Amino acid sequence: MSVRTRFAPSPTGYLHIGGARTALFNYLFARRHGGQYLLRIEDTDRQRSTQEAVQQILDSLEWLGLSPDEPPVFQSQREARHAEVARELLARGCAYLAYDTPEELAAMRAEAEAAKRPFKYDGSRWMTMDPKDAPSVAPAIRIKAPRADQAGGDTVVQDLVQGEVRVANTELDDMIILRSDGSPTYLHAVVVDDHDMGITHVIRGDDHLTNTFRQCMVYDAMGWHRPRFAHIPLIHGADGAKLSKRHGAVGALEFREQGFLPEAVCNYLMRLGWGHGDEEVIPRDRAIQLFDLDGVGRAASRMDYAKLLHLNGVYLRGAEDERLTREVLARLAKHGVAFGTLGAERVRALMPELKERAKTLEDLASSAAFAAVEGPPPMDPKAAALLTPEAKARLADLAQFLNDAPWERKDLEAWLRDYADVKGVKLGQVAQPLRIALSGSTQSPPIDAVLWALGRTEAMDRILAAAGE
């Protein structure tokens, strides 16, 4: 049987980085085994689900390269099928109609609380009821939980990450599968959907582990083959607390906004809670070859933003210049930096140098802005302070000679050295004012590269402006 996995987010907010990792593990596992990876939007909570959140989830997955292999399934559109299965369980004698009113249920809960014992629904009075005695309230359908003496008294799950997990049947009660208003409950709907979608492996956060035992009741009662379960640990912040905004970015698209590359985010997330020796840089193809669930640890992992940043730098350096140029120009435009075709070409020409120094696309955009603009770039105040009368005189002098300089990158460096030699000054005394004039900052790619990328006319304009001429 071919492997089929699914990612099943609830569209009640943006896609969290933990959800992105769950999607990634589902994707990698399916690919590794030559199977399919599906998406189900769990939108049965009408109050909290929004169309905007659905769109955000789809956009996030697309950005991460984790779009599903088939069109997404919307859980809310399958209510008739959920109800059908609930009625089938009723017909098979695996479920029964329960006529409790909300008041009666509240009283049962209060009684358990007063006696300081956990609430466990006791449906014995309905299970044996004669239909003609049924009260006039609309009934819910409850599934019969396994009894204390059934199957060794425990419900057991062989989890692919957690190992064997078990719960005593006495802990399970007859849960509602179809409410009195005809709507299915969540735990029931998930099982029906996973079964109908042909899901073979359910890979999800370990916060769902306890739900699994209750979901098994539906599989077992229907005589359906249970899928394999793999409950992966959650992601925590560096301090061990549940990951939240105060630790840093948490929404998948926030990482895009901050200038992370999707492949770096995926590589980082894959390594979070899964390892392959010391191998750190694992591109998608290799990840598909290597990934398996037995490499997933049981302990919660901690988000390390510094590591992600480092990895992003590695991927930036390896990324194609054309792609980075497009990304950078889009960011500059968004930040209101005006540039034309020439500016765009200059950014492209400098990209091999610029990307060596950047950790994010945002860094890259801010370090490229000087090359994009027409005329003297905005001047960093610290750099401006270094433009002393002496430095300005040096620039004015240099401008006279630069007119005759050979405008090839490989010649410009030698030419600058010769100039410094002839003038009897250190190269730094020439390069620093020049760097400030051309880039508006004390930090830029190598000065010969900057000169060359700007072109003679643009470079001369900037030098003369800084010289005050």
Compare residues 10 and 76 and give the one whose CB is closer to ligand GLU.
10
Q: How far from chain centre, in Å, is Cα 279?
A: 21
Burial class (CB in 10 A: 0-12, 13-18, 19+), 376: middle
Residue 110 sits at φ, ψ, to 5 deg, of -65, -40
> Within a 13 Å sphere around the CA of 369, how many CA atoms are in the beta-carbon half?
21
User: x/- site string to ligand GLU, residues 86 to 125, per CB under 6 A?
Assistant: ----------------------------------------
Q: Which two tokens stand for residue 180?
A: 């009195």
**Looking at beta carbons only, is 204 or 359 nearer to ligand GLU?**
204
Phi, psi of 4 (to 5 degrees): -135, 120
DSSP state of 388: -
Among 15, 64, 190, 303, binds ligand GLU (CB under 6 A): 190
Any idea what the Cα angle at residue 361 is, between residues 380 and 410, rounded to 5°?
A: 70
Q: Is 132 a catalytic residue?
A: no
Nearer to ligand GLU, 206 or 458 (CB): 206
Q: Where are the alpha helices (DSSP H) in 209-273?
A: 209-222, 252-257, 262-271
Active-site position among 116, 120, 144, 245: 245
Question: Minimum CB separation from ligand GLU for residue 14, in Å?
Answer: 12
Nearer Cβ to ligand GLU (42/100): 42
Candidates 4, 5, 8, 452: give the one binding ligand GLU (CB under 6 A): 8
What burial class does residue 60 get, using C-beta atoms within 10 Å of its C-beta: 0-12 exposed, 13-18 middle, 19+ buried? Answer: buried
Distance (Å, whole) CA 227 – CA 225: 6
Q: Which stretch binds ligand GLU (CB under 6 A): 6-14, 155-163, 264-272, 415-423?
A: 6-14
What residue number has its CB nearest to ligand GLU?
204
The answer to whether 253 and 247 have CB atoms below 8 angstroms apart is no
* 61 part of the interface to ligand GLU, by CB under 6 A: no
Which CB atom, from 10 or from 429, has the smaller least distance to ligand GLU?
A: 10
Q: How far is the CB of 229 from ligand GLU (least distance, A)?
A: 9
Distance of closest approach, residue 371 Cβ to ligand GLU, in angstroms? 44
CA angle, 179 as apex, 177 and 182 as ends, to 5°? 110
Q: Is 245 annotated as a binding residue?
A: yes
Q: Does 9 bind ligand GLU (CB under 6 A)?
A: yes
| 204 is an interface residue for ligand GLU by CB under 6 A | yes
Query: Applying CB under 6 A, which of residues 42, 159, 174, 363 lies at the interface with ligand GLU?
Result: 42
Tokens of 356: 């060596």
Kindly list the catalytic residues: 245
Q: Which residue numbers belong to the known binding site?
A: 245
**Binding residues for ligand GLU, per CB under 6 A?**
8-10, 42, 190, 204, 208
For the annotated binding site for ATP, the residues are 245
